[in-house]
Structure 1
Amino acid sequence: MSRGVSVNNLAAMEADCICPVIFVKLELDSGDILVHSRTGDITWGGDTYLGMGQFGEIGLVREDTELGRNPVDLTLSGIDEALISILLGEYYQGREATVYIGFLNLVTFQLVDTPEYLYGGLIDNSTITRDQNATITLRVENEEARWDTPNVRRFNNADQQLRYPGDKGLEYMEQMAEKQLNWGRG
């Protein structure tokens, strides 16, 4: 049995005929963009995902022991111009993107269980092409991409005031750096 897969989803995966559905959640400042790979709306987890039909493709999802970036490309094609306007007009780099996989019951076309987490990370960049159908390709890097971002913090009063206004904990730190201490002298 795979790690963390529900019994109902596992049964749906092992069936002779399966009906998978891919969910993509992009968490932007203006609001979440929620789409899925089938038609119609599907609601789960308190969110309603808009059906895009065969909206594109998901690049190879890789895991390795090196804990590298392992980016995944999400391609959305034939999408609404409003979505392109959001991505062109908003700063999306570093925002969360999550991909889930679920399975539909072949009779009721309802989810058999809560979709499973497939991949998550940070949006790095995008490529937008416009021809007969508008296409957006988002490069999403896994959580380990944050490890490459330097944490630029200083142990001085100015940096402490930016983070915690009014805190006096590092008020005399600059003076202490230049202070000469004589140990063992009377």
Structure 2
Amino acid sequence: MIESAISPTMIEAAQASPSRLLAFAELNFRSGWVRVHTGVGTRIYNGQTYLGLGELGGIGRIRENASASGNRTTLSLVVHDTALLSEVMNEDPNGRECFIHLVAFDENRQITEGANHFIDAEMVDLKVVRGKRSANKPAVIKITINDWFERWAQPVEVVKTTDAAQQELHPGDRFFDLVEVIAGSPLSSLPVKTNYGSPGKHSTRGKNGAYQR
């Protein structure tokens, strides 16, 4: 899951104050990219705008090991806005990208260094823990993310090579537009291109050098 090592500058920032080392997250929802960070206020990083979540956002413990087993962690967000909660419940982020960058700040709250794609993962589950308005208890959105080890261990999904899947990812790209036709047709009915002659026909060279069927 972790793709980049923490530099001495970033370690120094973290030791000086926990607020000087923040996580900047990018989540690729179907409705568009969501970019947030664990501090407060709005920040620009790598040309993109990130909204601070402060104490409302959280990241679970991140574990790494020397084996090829997958690693998971959970991103959480406390939600008071019921409209936002309804919007999130209509999302299906499973299988979509999630990147987390680690960013260091100086004592003047200026960015000094960043570890891009510190976590390279994908979202695999979204759960909503409902709150209780009468008890002033907010709802919590929990998104589980995994790393590339888990993706690598999964079997190939044939659905990703369909025309519908390709159109969703790359509208207008007709690369897989004949996949269903080919898959549902007997081999004998498909055109075969040979080295000589027209497709599906075998040709021989005559005495005068011309090709004959």
TM-score, with structure 1 as normaliser: 0.71
Cα distance in 2 between the residues matched to 1:152 and 1:17 = 47
CA contact (8 A) 1:99 1:119 kept: yes
Is residue 2:70 matched to residue 1:69? yes
Q: Which residue of 1 aligns with 2:118?
A: 118
Query: 1:54 aligns to what SS in structure 2?
Result: helix
Cα distance, 1:31 vs structure 2: 0.8
Q: State the distance in 1 between where 2:185 and 2:32 align.
A: 43
Task: Give the AA of the match of 2:124.
Answer: D
Structure 2, unmatched stretches of 5+, are 159-173, 190-213
Among 142, 156, 170, the alignment partner of 1:137 is 142
- Larger Cα-atom Rg: 2
* Aligned position for 1:158: none
2:113 alignment partner, SS class: coil
Q: CA RMSD in A?
A: 3.2
State the SS of the aligned residue for 1:175.
helix
Cα distance in 2 between the residues matched to 1:110 and 1:42: 10
AA aligned to 1:135 is V
Which of 78-87 and 21-30 deviates more?
Answer: 78-87
Q: Residue 74 of structure 1: CA displacement?
A: 1.1
Equivalent residue of 2:65, what SS?
A: coil
Aligned residues of 1:103 and 1:112 also touching (Cα < 8 A): yes
2:151 paired residue number:
146
Is the CA contact (8 Å cut-off) linking 1:61 and 1:119 kept in structure 2? no
Deviation at 1:149, TM superposition (A): 3.3
1:90-139 C-alpha deviation (Å, 9 max, x unpaired): 221111111221112212x1211234432121111122122422211111
- SS in structure 1 opposite 2:86? helix
- How far apart, in 1, do the equivalents of 2:185 and 2:94 lie? 38
The question of 1:17 aligning with 2:16 is answered yes
* Cα displacement (A) at 1:13: 2.0
- Percent sequence identity over aligned pairs: 23
Give the match's secondary structure for 1:84.
Answer: helix
Could you list the runs of 4 or more consecutive aligned residues of structure 1 that deviate by over 6 angstroms after TM superposition?
Answer: 168-173
Q: Give the drift of 1:144.
A: 2.3
- The answer for the alignment partner of 1:102 in structure 2 is 103
Unmatched 5+ residue regions in structure 1? 154-160, 177-186
How far is 1:173 from its partner? 6.7
Distance 1:120 1:55, change over 3 A: farther
- The CA distance in 2 between the partners of 1:80 and 1:115, in whole Å, is 32
| CA deviation map 1:37-79 (0-9, x unaligned) | 1111011112100011123432222222332221111122246
Q: What amino acid is the match of 1:38? A: G
Q: 1:122 to 1:83 in 2, by over 3 A?
A: farther
Equivalent residue number for residue 27 of structure 1: 28
Secondary structure, aligned partner of 1:114: strand
